Amino acid sequence: DNIVAQKSKQLAELIRSSSKIVFLTGAGISTASGIPDFRGPKGVWTLEEMGMSPDVNIDFQTAVPTLTHFAIAEICRIRDKSCYVISQNVDNLHMRSGLDKEKLSEVHGNIFTEKCPSCGREFERGKPSESIGMKKTGNLCTARKIRNIRCRGKLVDTVLDWEDPLPFDELSESERRCSDADLCVVLGTTLQIQPTGNMPLKTKRGGGKIAIVNLQKTRIDSSADLVINAKCDEVMKVVCEELSLTIPSVPHPPCEGLRMVKECFRPEPPKFRVKRVKVDKDLGIVKTEEGCGDSASDVVKQEEK
């Protein structure tokens, strides 16, 4: 309606006048792809509260990015390093829309991404992972280390289970980006899950502005400078028209095999000298061996025969 259109134009003006922008996205931007959200009218949690069984049989491999995914990718392409995306989704649709992984933090993981615990590099895969909870996938890291030696770390999936902590690198980078931004645009999330739900407030405390686009109310509406209760695609279509942006519509093809998509945030961990003490209880003999370990906690290890 006219109110939504007017507010969408206001959002376009906020984007145009901002120097550092963060988009924080949730499940609501993927519903047009057939992936259900959680608190929407037909959301997973909404239906469960009504005593109904939600349909969660999702084919992530055939899902395609929505207009909102493409719009965000195009804005980030034009704004380059002044634009960043924080996503709570695991569906890989941001990357399928053409968004550079270096401009994206996926705080809950990605069902199409594997990570090397040894060097921190991330790889895109062609099919959804069959596991969650950062379990080993059977693939080895192909990245090159010092002296051109292959890392060969054992890759793990990146989708978090309920009890898993948020990945430190993704979380710290997200918080830093929000603190530095002068505009945080929230799209398709009620911001119920912490600590992601409080990240826009870091932008506010830094003197920036918050714009929220979501069908339902969010827990920080009172702190926002602009609130639009409408579908994300409807709003972002107007935003792109106001910014004279052509929205792409062809998704990137699925990856074949493994493809490195992100270098590590941190340098490779140092090697520590390790002393291993072997104790033979029967003979009373103590043997000492020295080698290299990956962490300071490996400096002294005892092994009993």
Which among 272, 267, 278, 269 has a CA at the least distance from the CA of 297?
272
Residue 206 pairs with which residues in a beta bridge? Answer: none
108 tagged catalytic = yes
Which token pair is 202? Answer: 């870091």
Catalytic residue among 69, 94, 108, 252: 108
Rounded to whole angstroms, the Cα distance separating 136 from 142 reads 15
Could you tell me the CA-to-CA distances from 256 to 112, 123, 132, 204, 260 in Å, in that order?
11, 11, 21, 41, 11
Say what angle helices 232-242 and 2-17 make with each other, to 10 degrees.
60
Report yes or no: 110 and 159 within 8 Å, Cβ to Cβ.
yes
Give the strands of the sheet with 154-157, arranged side by side. Answer: 136-140, 154-157, 113-115, 122-125, 258-262
Separate counts of helices (H) and strands (E) for the chain: 7, 14
Find where tokens 């906020």 sit. Answer: 14
Helix (H) or strand (E) holding 174: helix 168-180
Find where tokens 């309606």 sit. Answer: 1
> What amino acid positions are annotated as catalytic residues?
108
